Amino acid sequence: MSVPKAGIIYNDIKPIAGRVAIELKDQLTAAGWDVCVTTSIGGILGYCNPHSPVCHTPIEGLTPPGFDSDMEFAVVLGGDGTVLAASRQVAPCGIPLLTVNTGHMGFLTESYLNQLPQAMEQVMLGKYEIEERVMITVQVLRGDSILWEALCLNEMVLHREPLTSMCHFEIEIGRHAAVDIAADGVIVSTPTGSTAYSLSAGGPVVTPGVPVLQLVPICPHSLASRALVFPDSEPVNIYPVNVPRMVMVVDGNGGCYVLPEDRVYLERSPYTARFIRLQSPEFFRILREKLGWGLPHIAKPTSVELP
């Protein structure tokens, strides 16, 4: 009989995540599991600098040693940034992630540290559901050459330095005619990312599972430029018009410079982020608990009898 295999991915900047990772590895090993441990740093894309505008790691090159399709699950210990990094590390292998919050907001996390023993018991018994979230492939191309690429779970942001400088974009969505947008920047977001930067920029909330992406201008120069929701089957090409360069950031933690001769290409990835859910996913509950959406108004009227 083969030994079951599990993984642990933790944020090594947070001491508590490191301590829990060691304890959890010992517990799983004692229970007969083969355990691989790594930090989330391998999923951080890193930033380029003006002297080295390209920092290209292939999408499949982020998978940590020992993590493969034989792994039954991996536990992620950290906040939303750790979850974003971990999803890039293991999405090509299809490994389900149990996300445990050791951070602040924890919008993407499923459980908390004080619930970890019960959560592990449930997961080891296989009593959970898997929710798949769409990811997009983001590439910077110069001609036919790929200069930079990454998996994206939340959003891609393209803007000028500094951010407050207005810039111009030519954007092609699928087979449709190109559109011109003047704004401080543009965001292309997944449904998962619709509650992140896109929401702050005026985009709508999109429930997970809806097969769409959205394009959101940041502080557009025209009243006619507003958020656009379109099928995720449509690829996107973005041509920056500004000189000398623009900055692209993916999921808030890495990116590269984009020059006028480059284009940014986005499409739905064949890989998905697979999250373990200990109970049936309830997106509206998360919106209510994390963002206060749909809470009863304190001045909600009550029925009264007329004299």
Counting Cα atoms < 13 Å in the Cβ hemisphere of 168 gives 8
Residues in the chain: 307
User: Annotation-wise, does 154 bind a ligand?
Assistant: yes
DSSP state of 32: T
- Contact call for residues 246 and 166 (beta carbons, < 8 A): no
User: Annotation-wise, does 190 bind a ligand?
Assistant: no
User: Annotation-wise, does 253 bind a ligand?
Assistant: yes
User: Annotation-wise, does 42 bind a ligand?
Assistant: no
Q: Give yes or no for a cis peptide into 162 (omega within 30° of 0).
A: yes
To which residue do tokens 């001491």 refer?
15
- Contact call for residues 121 and 28 (beta carbons, < 8 A): no
Q: How far is CA 20 from CA 16, 96, 143, in A?
A: 6, 19, 47
User: Annotation-wise, does 144 bind a ligand?
Assistant: no
User: Annotation-wise, does 114 bind a ligand?
Assistant: no
User: Annotation-wise, does 99 bind a ligand?
Assistant: no
**Residue 208: Cβ-neighbour burial (10 angstroms; 0-12, 13-18, 19+):** middle
End-to-end CA distance of the chain: 78
User: Annotation-wise, does 252 bind a ligand?
Assistant: no
User: Annotation-wise, does 198 bind a ligand?
Assistant: yes
Q: How far apart are CA 71 and CA 110, in angstroms?
A: 19
Question: Letter for the amino acid at 267?
Answer: E
Catalytic residue of the set 12, 34, 80, 251: 80
To which residue do tokens 């890193």 refer?
46
**Residue 65: Cβ-neighbour burial (10 angstroms; 0-12, 13-18, 19+):** exposed
Instruction: Confirm whether 251 is a catalytic residue.
Output: no
Question: Letter for the amino acid at 41?
Answer: I
> 22: closest CA among 43, 33, 11, 8?
8
User: Annotation-wise, does 197 bind a ligand?
Assistant: yes
Residues placed in the known binding site for NAD(+): 80-81, 154-155, 184, 195-200, 253
Which residues are identified as catalytic? 80
Annotated binding site: 80-81, 154-155, 184, 195-200, 253
